Amino acid sequence: MTSPISTEIRDGILIITSNNPPVNALGAAVRVGLDAAITELESNDAIQAAVIRCEGRTFFAGADITEFGKPPVEPLLPQLIDRIEASAKPVVAAIHGTALGGGLETALACHWRVAVPSAKLGVPEVKLGLLPGAGGTQRLPRVAGVELAAEMCATGNPISAKKAAEVGLVDQIAGEDRLLDDAIAFARTKIGTAPRRSRDLPVKGDPAFIDTFAAQNAKKFKGFDAPAANLACVRAAVEKPFDDGIAFERQEFMKLMFGSQSAAMRHIFFAERQAAKIDGIAEDIALRPVAKVGVIGAGTMGGGIAMNFLQAGIPVTIVEQAQDALDRGVGVIRKNYDASAAKGRFKPEQVEAMMGLLTPSLTLEDLADCDLIIEAVFENMDVKKDVFGKLDRIAKPGAILASNTSYLDVNEIATATGRAGDVLGLHFFSPANVMKLLEVVRGAETAPDVLATAMAVAKKIGKVAVVAGVCDGFIGNRMLKPRQIEAMKLLMEGATPAQIDKVHVDFGMPMGPFQMSDLAGVDIGWHRDPSRIENVRDALCAKGRWGQKTGKGFYDYDENRRPSPSAEVQEILDAFAAQAGTAKREISDAEIIERTIYPMVNEGALILEEGIAQRASDIDVVWIYGYGWPVYRGGPMFWADLEGADKILAGLEKHLAAFGPEFRLSTLLKDKAAAKGRFTRPA
Ligand code: 3HC
Ligand code: NAI
């Protein structure tokens, strides 16, 4: 096998080139090759300095994550990095693309760094539940200062080459197209100079910043192990000699590497990329062009959906049924953009450019030239079929016709057209301009190129797309349903909304089932007849308890939207429980998990056995990006694997009587439990 590392001597300068597509990850072959190149540098007297560079789209984007958890292969990255730094001859890193993680650590071991203006530098390990474990936490504070190092390590966010140059992380900005020449010229100026080793530099900056920064970000870091470990290592750089700091870094790195959080986060890294792949459809299938988009309905969802495309520079025609609704919808888009501009996210001229791409209209005929049309009208089959029937007559041949329905049967919607192959669901999540998830609902007749085009469009507008089959609620909302049903029953049996919500928030969810109801609106789908009271929700709605928007729902809200338990709600619950003859009892937090989260896993398993989701990791992606499932728990199916399918099954079987006759145990779950098998691949 040829090495991904090649060398060439140009006028006394050793040019070390890595060519390891797609991102020049520092896998074993790269490390072996780099190690040999350093030997060449040291042993050949004709060589006076070296430049390390990469072919392809980026400088080393980090350690090879696929090697994690497997037996280590020498030379290990920290050893290699020490060797580069120890070189008696000057070594210069030539950086383009993204120098990330182990890639930036390699650059930090080089004695000087040259980068193109478009380069980005960062240590994203924390996003994988890790820390820079090849000396990054010790060298970065010495080169860039404690403050920036703490921030970069704990957030994982990269910085621009310009910023890196300001703080001394980059020594020279090269011409965008002249990186190698400029790096060679730079290296030449260092011939004969003693190498500047990062490990020998004093730590710059104010260590007090670390605690302040941790306190400021306490909410963001809550539940995660890695940010604190990153900060502890940066603190060690201040307090300990270099070698002791490195030993501490190694110890902390190993703890994280073999912990469940990092396994979960690495699982999601790959799950997200895997989700883009559609089983049975070739990756190089010809896509349909999407240069112009139509959106029908300018309500809560339509407006947000339109914003995604405007931000990607794609013109949108938005159609409403009445002028006032149209004006309101367009007004909301403008208001959202103005608010973002006020926060500095957009320049005023960008807002004008985006608004300039928007054409408001009251006639569906104006969608005749659109390549993709997304319907976001009321959630009603007759209304949707009426719209699709009209679209069938209006839309140009080959246009993709999508529905944003949350629950309705996409196959039935497609029957309203004579082109079911062009129809699919594009289920955005609210707020549609913010939430990253897009469920792409594949109808029975949806053409492969339509599906593939939808996935590509999703990527273009910055969404994480997951393919789902047709069923009630697709992947996400279908799994939400058993959770809501059981949470409601638990209230009858003696739990309180606050107790159930707390269990979910402690688990890491952004909110619990009742906080979610109050935010979304308790009245969603309510029949709007205050005299017809058949369940708790009817009773709440009849009393105007519609959620946060009316100042009361499952909780009472003060003027700052702070919730407190409601005596009125408790009375309603007690009355319903008494009527049903349900005895109240003490409910443990463990039971709340078994009754509300285990059924979600069971539903996920049903979704898999029915082929609604392509793979277990897709379900995890849906829950991470659509519902805020804590990424350090890896999604419901990865979490189920950690718990063990046998434990989940036993937990569910305990409560079969409470679940009632409509509950169906998944055969797949039973099989996994019997075989002690997993839903997801081990990370
Ligand atoms: N190791 C192994 N594979 C990697 C990888 C890595 N570090 N980074 C990316 N890949 C793979 C992806 O899985 C994907 O594979 P696929 O095509 O089979 O799905 C392929 O490379 C392309 O990746 P993207 O689709 O993400 O490409 P983009 O161009 O959108 O993004 C990127 C490129 C910004 C480099 C992005 O891939 C990224 O953020 N990568 C991870 C960077 C990272 O986390 N580095 C730190 C690693 S941990 C470390 O270094 C530990 C050390 O401190 C000891
Ligand atoms: P909405 O009530 O806020 O907006 C619907 C808009 O469609 C209204 O402005 C209405 O005037 C317009 N409309 C109705 N019939 C029309 C027609 N024939 N032609 C043009 N415009 C028409 O509703 P919302 O919340 O935006 O929901 C829209 C769709 O998105 C529904 O199918 C819903 O299930 C789905 N959805 C809603 C989510 C949410 O959180 N609100 C989340 C995901 C999907």
* Residue of 85, 125, 147, 320 marked catalytic: 125
Cα angle 359, 365, 370 (rounded to 5 degrees) comes to: 60
* Burial (CB count within 10 angstroms: exposed 0-12, middle 13-18, buried 19+), residue 208: exposed
Q: How far apart are alpha carbons 499 and 597 in whole angstroms?
A: 15
Give the chain's residues under pLDDT 50: none
pLDDT digits (tens, 9 = 90+) for 2-14: 999 999 999 999 9
Report yes or no: 636 and 672 within 8 Å, Cβ to Cβ: no
Domains and CATH numbers, the chain: 5-258 (3.90.226.10), 293-470 (3.40.50.720), 495-580 (1.10.1040.50)
Q: Starting from the CA of residue 138, give the closest ligand.
A: 1
Q: Which atom of ligand 1 lies closest to the CA of 65?
A: 1
The H or E element containing residue 6 is: strand 5-10
Please work out whether the CB of residue 325 comes within 6 Å of at least one atom of ligand 2. Answer: yes
Please work out whether the CB of residue 317 comes within 6 Å of at least one atom of ligand 2. Answer: no
Residues 6+ positions from 339 with CB-CB distance below 8 Å: none
pTM, 2 dp: 0.96
Please work out whether the CB of residue 434 comes within 6 Å of at least one atom of ligand 2. Answer: no
Q: Which atom of ligand 1 lies closest to the CA of 277?
A: 19
Q: Which residue has the least CA distance to atom 1 on ligand 2?
A: 299
Residues 6+ positions from 627 with CB-CB distance below 8 Å: 476, 480, 509
Quote the pLDDT of residue 648: 98
Residues 6+ positions from 173 with CB-CB distance below 8 Å: 114, 115, 116, 117, 161, 162, 165
Q: Return the residue matching tokens 């990062």.
A: 198
**Residue 18 — φ and ψ, nearest 5°?**
-100, 135
- Rounding to the nearest 10 degrees, give the CA dihedral for residues 154, 156, 160, 163: 10
Pocket probe for ligand 2: among 323, 373, 377, 391, the residue whose CB has the most ligand atoms within 8 Å is 377
HSE of 188 in the Cβ direction (CA atoms, 13 Å)? 10
Please work out whether the CB of residue 97 comes within 6 Å of at least one atom of ligand 1. Answer: no
- Catalytic, 125? Answer yes
Cα angle 12, 15, 19 (rounded to 5 degrees) comes to: 165
- Catalytic, 365? Answer no
Quote the pLDDT of residue 68: 92
- Quick one: residue 316, left, alpha or beta (phi over 0 = left, psi -120 to 50 = alpha)? beta
pLDDT digits (tens, 9 = 90+) for 192-251: 999 999 999 999 899 999 999 999 999 999 999 999 999 999 999 999 999 999 999 999
Please work out whether the CB of residue 383 comes within 6 Å of at least one atom of ligand 2. Answer: yes
Q: How far apart are alpha carbons 103 and 237 in whole angstroms?
A: 20
Please work out whether the CB of residue 366 comes within 6 Å of at least one atom of ligand 2. Answer: no
Please work out whether the CB of residue 66 comes within 6 Å of at least one atom of ligand 1. Answer: yes
Q: Which atom of ligand 1 lies closest to the CA of 102?
A: 50
| Distance of CA 24 from the midpoint of ligand 1 (Å) | 9
Please work out whether the CB of residue 294 comes within 6 Å of at least one atom of ligand 2. Answer: no
HSE of 482 in the Cβ direction (CA atoms, 13 Å)? 27
Pocket probe for ligand 1: among 65, 80, 618, the residue whose CB has the most ligand atoms within 8 Å is 65
Quote the pLDDT of residue 69: 83
Q: Which atom of ligand 1 lies closest to the CA of 66?
A: 2
pLDDT digits (tens, 9 = 90+) for 264-290: 999 999 999 999 999 999 999 999 999
Q: What is the DSSP string of 318-336?
A: EE-SSHHHHHHHHHHHHHH
Quote the pLDDT of residue 293: 98
Quote the pLDDT of residue 525: 84
